[in-house]
Structure 1
């Protein structure tokens, strides 16, 4: 599914084309997403000018003077900018036509995405109110991560994927950050030294920042707003490489399941 770097890539792609522009026409072809698209959304947004586009965790926040459109890409969704007259695809469920002539389309084959509206501050919405800090923000650092998880008995990989601890560390990036930190993903948090947990916070930041700069990771469905895939998958060290030689020591990468998620690690480099 699109993870934080893919969502941030989308934000950066659409923000310059939305901010300061009006929604002149809105077409909703399918309301049955993860949660039904609110009745009357078209009337709420028609003729309104976008003030900005933000991201919180994996949610895109499109701000208007009277509220915020909260978008989530779900398992296979994407937001794409298309030129006027571009033919609608089968799974283009919503189209926002801008005063510039461009159109923003929500494409979502599995319909696990969402478009929600709130007139209250977006940060107070139930989906966002209890999220942990952003991994690339100053609030997320080694000391914070240690204090948050050092007492836990659960596997370190599950802990850093807990969005109450830190948002946006999805499965791919958890595997990669733990490899760079040299930590076995199965190891219990309470059995990891403080220095190693603090170092892990740095590798999480590094991996996610690198993925954002390279446009995210394309494994199946994701493309950026112009239709081009991300390329971070070309530099993956462990994820999806079960049985392949470790890039550092040559040992075959091990594959297991942690918290019902595919997990990959080097038995020699990670302990």
Structure 2
């Protein structure tokens, strides 16, 4: 749902795959290695299913789509060695480095065929917390195909285009934008206890929306909710427990 031609070789951007009704199936990082090579880094969706869906739109025999099972993606908190912003960096071994940080924390991703990193559940949880704090929705399978890019506030990531034509759902996305009908977006809330996807965010008398993503680390519990952008300030609860709305941070747009 973004324009590949708008990025130069050696750059990356957020993008996604939509249903014809403009609902987000998957959100991913789109890397343009050169004029002939694009990579998709898919944080949450099933890459094999996404690849199969995209193959339906291949009309030229020279286009090849495949899942790179020979590569791993590893992340760490810390400044990238070379990558910066939307400029990726490749080293002599063929590894690709991406800047995933913001003004609030330095992070980098590395795509490699020789990973020696071990699984660190605590680091994974901190990474997810950082994503949610910056309005990057981590969509479980239950939330795929439910939300428009505007409802997921993906303009914060520059993850969709209202000018590029000919992608599934483009007409609905553009109409929503130009008619000013984006009434719902992401709300970040913090809770004293863990929350579950699907739980309802409420004021005293009104249901505002449902949790679409959660993260828990270091004694903190965050959730993203799709809810009304224009609403009065009032106490919020989830499952009868008071929660606090927090401001979304900037810095992950590419």
What TM-score do the two structures reach when normalised by structure 2?
A: 0.29
Q: Which has the higher helix share?
A: 1
Q: Which has the higher strand share?
A: 2
What TM-score do the two structures reach when normalised by structure 1?
A: 0.27
Structure label with greater radius of gyration? 1
